[in-house]
A and B are shown apart, each in its own frame.
Chain A
Amino acid sequence: MTEMRMRDALREALREELIRDDRVFLLGEDIGAYGGSYSVTKGLLEEFGEARVRDTPIAESGIVGVGVGAAMAGMRPMVELMTINFSFLAFDQIVNNAAKLHYMSNGQITIPIVIRMASGGGSQLGATHSHSLEGLYAHFPGLKVVCPSSPADGKGLLKQAFRDDNPVIFIEHTANYGLKGEVPEQEDFLIEFGKASILREGRDVTLIGYSGSVHQAVRAADLLAEQEEIDAEVIDLRTLRPLDMDTVIESVKKTNRAVVVEDDWRFGGFAGEIASQIMEKAFDWLDAPVARVCSKDVPMPYNRNLEFAALPSEEDVVEAVLAML
């Protein structure tokens, strides 16, 4: 184990995969000398050269489309997009092409592409840089959606993404890049998709999050323990597709209460999916309706006061828990 930040753990994963498999190469805007918008690819150009770490023109649809083509031809490309908002420029290539061509071709075509993108608010970057839309990609059959919350998960899941034969949407919360944690060093450290992790065990309520919202859930659990003597269990979903509902259901059967925490909008968001699956699978165990703590239904505003008001907080989680007891 070594302590490292999320961005360094992600870089380690990329390095190891570039070394392990010469079909792996990276495409993205400013990923070369600049090292990527969030410094994830820093130093990789120097180590692996321009053929495998390619700075691209500003053309998101273009670079994802080229990545899809290269993947069809047997390569293992990773495309870095600066933010999830810019992934909408490549939406057609992702959802109409990458997600569907295996199916439409009757299994002839496989598209092992990793598309990494930053998400999340709280950094005052306004309405076209700050949204959390993991659940949107999870809506599409054919895509795998991965959203780590810790450096170890970041490394293990990103390495796993390169071994997967399907398009993987790998979403990194901007607030997590600087986060430190213990990361296993061995090269075969992989984390299987579809395995949630229990970050804290508890008896009274289950708090469910992913990516950035996991940290709000953990802080809320601390507050609940300190101030209210409420013992919350915290689950990090880690991947939304595949989704590990077994872990969630088992927990809810123990605690009888659940709160889903996410940075996404409430209306039509992924929290609604979790809540309805809990209802379908554990209705008889519930002592209260499943609660959702989400962001306000507004485009992310820039000013600090406004952005704070738009985003969910740990206090909101505490409030939701108290309301269901």
Chain B
Amino acid sequence: MTAKERRPRSKETIDQYLLSEQQLEEMYETMLLARRLNERMLALNRQGRAPFFIGGTGQEAAQVGAAMSLKRGEDYLVPYYRDLAMNLVFGMSAREAMLNLLAKKDDPHGGGRQMPSHWGVGSRKVVTGGSVVATQLLHAAGIALAAKMSSDPIVVLTCCGEGSTSKGDFHEALNFAQIHRLPVIFYVQNNGYAISESTEKEMPIAHVADRARAYNMHSASVDGMDAIAVYQTVKPAVDQARRGGGPFLIEARCYRLGAHSSDDDDSRYRPKAELEEWTQKDPITLFRRRVETDKVFPPEELDEIEERVTAEVQDAVEWATNQPDPAPEDALGFVYRE
């Protein structure tokens, strides 16, 4: 494919979006890249080339809209395992995403030690953690505490799923953060399931956002399939936290369009009709329809983005596959700081 001349994008804010043309392009391209990467990762798993895959299909708008409201390079992101798209916003390339999936020696997130999708790159202020859900929320509160103590005007955004809000860690993090009015956003991606369990089995309330009341915390619940609505909700919360207004609990109502992970067969528990209904609300399709209707981008430009993304994913797979694996003796390092 030959590189096409790209029309320069305006940086002026478009009123009904609160975002510029340039930002809208980034939003679309990042969501699409996350989607295509996830599809390819699952395919690699099915071909036996990647032992484990866990993806964020259906949650791209929730992730991109939220991550774009942070200051990259300054604010902290303490993500969870579905946040591929957030990491792309924070500077991860397609090649790096594949390096991580394949747990290669040069994977900057863990050099093959960490499970895939447990992202963290210090220089980018993205912090990794274990697989034990919700533990990262406390780390986020601690990072926010450290920032507050050193008068650093940053915000920490941390993520988990709705199922993880049943754990003590979630409640302890919110309680502590509100007592100390810490600059942290607890961002819960409510995708309807915790592995096989639908939300009624996880909690006796309909909205995760309602949990904020117990901690006297600001909260919001937003349509997580709408990247723009997400941005418009998260951005003011981030700004408020930065000004010293304290923490925020935000629930993004979205849907897990894929299985829980490569080890899961979701047909065991998920009604087909439900999946079909949510597929109609695919966040990427919705976004494209909206910017096309509003004539922000002509369709051919959106197609060009699509082509670019496809080529990027292909290149990433080919490149990452040929990168070296860690050597057996690499297993021994980093138990202690030497």
Complex interface: stretch among A241-249, A278-286, A303-311: A303-311
Known A-B contacts A59-B167, A297-B335; the reply to A127 vs B325 at CB < 8 A is: no
Complex interface: stretch among A18-26, A30-38, A133-141: A30-38
**Listed A/B pairs (12) with beta-carbon separation below 8 Å:** A29-B194, A30-B194, A30-B195, A32-B196, A33-B269, A35-B268, A55-B201, A88-B132, A296-B331, A303-B112, A303-B326, A305-B330
Q: Which residues of B lie under 8 Å from residue A302 when comparing CB positions?
A: 52, 103, 110, 112-116
* A89/B51 in contact, CB under 8 A: no
Number of A residues with CB within 8 Å of any CB on chain B? 38
Complex interface residues of chain A between 276 and 325 (CB less than 8 A to chain B): 296-299, 301-310
Interface membership of B25, Cβ < 8 A: no
Question: Shortest Cβ distance from A266 into chain B, in angstroms?
Answer: 13
Contact of A126 among B131, B134, B202 (CB under 8 A): B131
* A58/B133 in contact, CB under 8 A: yes
Interface membership of B299, Cβ < 8 A: no
Interface membership of A178, Cβ < 8 A: no
Convert B111-136 into 0s and 1s, putting 1 for each residue whose CB lies closer than 8 angstroms to a CB of A: 01111101000000000001111100
Contact of A125 among B115, B134, B167, B331 (CB under 8 A): B115
Contact of A301 among B113, B167, B195, B197 (CB under 8 A): B113
- State A308–B104 Cα separation when bound (angstroms): 15
* B328/A309 in contact, CB under 8 A: yes
* A303/B332 in contact, CB under 8 A: no
* B194/A301 in contact, CB under 8 A: no
Q: Which residues of B lie under 8 Å from residue A306 when comparing CB positions?
A: 112-113, 326, 328, 330-331
B residues whose Cβ falls under 8 Å from a Cβ of A: 51-52, 103-104, 110, 112-116, 118, 130-134, 163-164, 166-168, 194-197, 201-203, 268-269, 325-332, 335
Contact of B195 among A34, A89, A124, A305 (CB under 8 A): A34
- State A9–B270 Cα separation when bound (angstroms): 27
Known A-B contacts A29-B195, A303-B326, A305-B325; the reply to A127 vs B113 at CB < 8 A is: yes
Question: Shortest Cβ distance from A210 into chain B, in angstroms?
Answer: 24
> Which B-chain residue is minimally distant from A82 (CB atoms)?
B195
Contact of B196 among A33, A301, A304, A308 (CB under 8 A): A33
* B203/A57 in contact, CB under 8 A: yes
Known A-B contacts A57-B163, A57-B166, A127-B130; the reply to A303 vs B201 at CB < 8 A is: no
A residues whose Cβ falls under 8 Å from a Cβ of B: 29-30, 32-35, 55-62, 85-86, 88-89, 124-129, 296-299, 301-310
* B202/A58 in contact, CB under 8 A: yes
Contact of B268 among A33, A62, A124, A301 (CB under 8 A): A33
* B197/A299 in contact, CB under 8 A: no
Closest 8 CB pairs of A and B: A303-B112, A34-B196, A57-B166, A309-B328, A126-B115, A128-B130, A309-B331, A306-B331
Q: Which residues of A lie under 8 Å from residue B332 when comparing CB positions?
A: 296, 298, 309
Known A-B contacts A127-B130, A306-B328; the reply to A34 vs B268 at CB < 8 A is: yes
Most chain A CB neighbours (cut-off 10 Å) among B104, B164, B167: B167
Known A-B contacts A33-B268, A57-B201, A86-B132; the reply to A62 vs B328 at CB < 8 A is: no
Q: Which residues of A lie under 8 Å from residue B195 when comparing CB positions?
A: 29-30, 34
Contact of A305 among B164, B194, B327 (CB under 8 A): B327
- State A86–B195 Cα separation when bound (angstroms): 16
Most chain A CB neighbours (cut-off 10 Å) among B103, B110, B203, B268: B103
> Which A-chain residue is minimally distant from B103 (CB atoms)?
A303
* B166/A59 in contact, CB under 8 A: yes
- State A7–B116 Cα separation when bound (angstroms): 27
Question: Shortest Cβ distance from A289 into chain B, in angstroms?
Answer: 24
Q: Which residues of B lie under 8 Å from residue A86 when comparing CB positions?
A: 132
Question: Shortest Cβ distance from A31 into chain B, in angstroms?
Answer: 9
Question: Shortest Cβ distance from A76 into chain B, in angstroms?
Answer: 23
- State A57–B171 Cα separation when bound (angstroms): 14
Known A-B contacts A33-B268, A59-B168, A126-B131; the reply to A298 vs B335 at CB < 8 A is: yes
* A30/B326 in contact, CB under 8 A: no
- State A57–B202 Cα separation when bound (angstroms): 4
- State A304–B52 Cα separation when bound (angstroms): 12
Q: Which residues of A lie under 8 Å from residue B201 when comparing CB positions?
A: 55-57
Question: Shortest Cβ distance from B193 into chain A, in angstroms?
Answer: 10
* B113/A129 in contact, CB under 8 A: no
Most chain A CB neighbours (cut-off 10 Å) among B113, B114, B167, B330: B113
Q: Which residues of A lie under 8 Å from residue B104 when comparing CB positions?
A: 303
- State A55–B166 Cα separation when bound (angstroms): 13
> Which A-chain residue is minimally distant from B105 (CB atoms)?
A303
Q: Which residues of B lie under 8 Å from residue A128 when comparing CB positions?
A: 130-132
Most chain B CB neighbours (cut-off 10 Å) among A33, A85, A89, A301: A301
Q: Which residues of B lie under 8 Å from residue A33 when comparing CB positions?
A: 196, 268-269
Q: Which residues of A lie under 8 Å from residue B166 when comparing CB positions?
A: 57-59, 62
Q: Which residues of A lie under 8 Å from residue B196 when comparing CB positions?
A: 30, 32-34, 55
- State A296–B330 Cα separation when bound (angstroms): 12
- State A62–B165 Cα separation when bound (angstroms): 13
* B167/A30 in contact, CB under 8 A: no
